[in-house]
Amino acid sequence: MKQLILSLALLFAVGCWCAPQVMAKGDDAISSVEKKKKKKAKRGALSPVAQALEEAGYFTETEARPKAKFYIFICSASWCGPCRALMPKVVEEYETKMKKNKSVSMVLLGCDSDDESARQYIEHYETDMPGVLNKKVNLENRPEIPGIPWYFILNAKGELVSVGAGSKVLDWEAEIKKKPAKPEKASKKKSRR
């Protein structure tokens, strides 16, 4: 009987010693979740473009700047020869100028069929450019993409600023100075017969 009481006392002592450590680990996990929530709240409301990108989900570790004034999308894919020829120039422009400019955020709009192919494509160029799959992004004023490589620029409100053939994206500094394009209105012309 003494052994049973001694064993129970020992178990109780070990339990009392371990409980604060286990509870502390639980508190750390809760506080890290709370920290993430506070960080998102601190950033404030996301622009429509940043919100759409977040909802689409990045296939890269890097995300677009949530407070950018302009989002430059380069539409490209690993299987496209012209895209692969243009990407070294785009990546060089991104690494040397765009990363330093806090008002712009370049995003690879991957036209590959899946996240893994798109991720391998961007990793090949050894850049931390953010990327999302084209088919997952729901942007209101997004232009039709007639072919790749292609680019378009949206301001933070989601208004279309510029669009064109891929290599023209290298003139992004001049392109972001343009006024947003006015949305096309439905034609109200009556047909004459």
- Three-state secondary structure of the chain: CHHHHHHHHHHHHHHHHHHHHHHHHHHHHHHHHHHHHHHHHHHCCCCHHHHHHHHHCECCCCCCCCCCCEEEEEEECCCCHHHHHHHHHHHHHHHHHHCCCCCEEEEEEECCCCHHHHHHHHHHCCCCCCEEEHHHCCCCCCCCCCCCCEEEEEECCCCEEEEEEHHHHHHHHHHCCCCCCCCCCCCCCCCCC
Q: Is residue 104 part of a domain?
A: yes
CATH number at residue 69: 3.40.30.10
Tens-digit pLDDT profile for residues 10-36: 656 555 555 454 444 454 545 544 544
Q: Is residue 29 part of a domain?
A: no
Tens-digit pLDDT profile for residues 128-174: 999 998 889 888 888 888 999 999 999 988 899 999 998 888 988 88
Domain residues for the domain of 168 are: 48-175
